[in-house]
Amino acid sequence: MGYVAVKGGNEAIEQACQLFAWERMKGSSRAVGVDQIRDQLYLAVDRIMGEGSLYAPDLAALSFKQAAGDTFEAAFMLRAYRATQPRLGYSQPVNTEEMRIVRRISSAFKDIPGGQLLGGTSDYTLRLLDFELLENDEARRNAFRERLFAHLPASEEIPASFPKVIHILRREGLLDESGAQPPGSDPFDITRQSLTFPASRSAALQSLARGETGGMLALAYSSMRGYGNIHPTLGELRVGYVPLTMAHPVSGAPYTVGEVKVTEAEVLARFEGADGMPRFTLGYGLCFGQNELKAISMAVLDRCTRTAQPACPAEDQEFVLYHIDGVESMGFCNHWKLPHYVDFLSDLDRLRKAQQVARQSAPEEENHAAE
């Protein structure tokens, strides 16, 4: 999180900040409220929470507004805010089988225990512009609401939990789980310890969980296309709310303090087995909010980076984990906009000197050629 402090030209910098604030609010349209962003642009809010590594929908919506829609900048601000907050404790491990499901699909099996639950998604739309949204006034909104809820079927009780699809494979001994975290071991904390390589599974998953969606997608896509050996099948994708459980500070008994919306993906990759027996290998992804591309990309990269002999960038753990953090990469890229006068003048002097030497040596080379 370096390369952001600037000294000198304070008045110009203050004016530039004021102008940016004006660009965000200018025009005759109504100001966008933080509550509107939180409720209606929830996918952007979820992405910012994941990349900012802080589950705080109101603050993520605020950062999105303050950054004028720049998700990189918004995630940067959210993570910076997170760094100022005291750590009060640790939540207990979450069993995602207890997830309150809002969406659940599998591309590995048509019929899965509990059934497929499509939920709210744009996956099946034609990606055509909806020009009615240009006139999205309150009357149209109410009409849509009435049309949507007018002919609902009789309500059915949704199960409190759904069994995992991969349990089908696990029961038959078809799943290799040699890369699982040893039971009872403490997870690595990347916010308090520097990454070292090879990184543990928990450290890698933490880094991936707060990685930038586009960067992770690009690396995962490279493996899917053949620059790697992982062309996965989606065993199960879940979106829902998991209970956040803490140990009571006095009694030590577990108690639930709320819910957290997450996306979980489990992908099945090539046949491999630590004991020589062919089995499916598993890649795992879980991130804050509803961010399905990120969760799937995370699962693919989790499996890629556990390849014994890396043969491409997506399989190189150090390459992947050092380059997926949007806050770090954005900060480094942005620092090129800051003054580099001394560096460049040094390069300029060396280039001029090199050209001078080249001109002086040119006649000598011509004379040697003539002889």
Is residue 139 scored above 70 in pLDDT?
Answer: yes
- If we measure between CA atoms, which residue out of 323, 330, 320, 267 comes closest to residue 293? 267
Global confidence as pTM: 0.89
Rounded to an integer, what distance in angstroms lies between the CA atom of residue 250 and that of residue 252? 6
Strand pairing report for 254-271 and 280-288: antiparallel
Other beta carbons within 10 angstroms of residue 185's beta carbon come to 10
pLDDT of residue 276: 76
Across 333-361, average pLDDT? 91
With vertex at residue 289, the alpha carbon angle to CA 185 and CA 30, rounded to the nearest 5 degrees, is 150
pLDDT confidence tier of residue 1, bands split at 50, 70 and 90: very low
pLDDT of res. 369 = 61
Q: What angle in degrees, to the nearest 10, is found between the helix axes of 213-224 and 42-52? A: 90
- pLDDT for 177 equals 78
- Residue 3's pLDDT band (boundaries 50, 70, 90)? very low
The per-residue pLDDT for 370 is 59
pLDDT in tens, 154-210: 777 777 788 899 998 989 988 887 777 777 678 899 998 889 999 999 999 999 999
Query: Which whole number is the average pLDDT over 342-371?
Result: 83
In tens, the pLDDT along 306-325 reads: 988 899 999 999 999 999 99
Cis peptide before 198 (omega within 30 of 0): yes
Written as six digits, the tokens of 295 are 């969760």
Report the share of the chain in percent with pLDDT over 90. Answer: 55
Q: Could you report the per-residue pLDDT of 29-70, keeping only the tens digit for each?
A: 888 999 999 999 999 999 999 999 999 999 999 999 999 999
Residue 366 has pLDDT above 70, yes or no: no
Q: Write down the pLDDT at residue 363.
A: 72
Least confidently predicted of 211-215, 305-309, 345-349: 305-309
Residue spans per domain, the chain: 11-83, 96-121+154-324
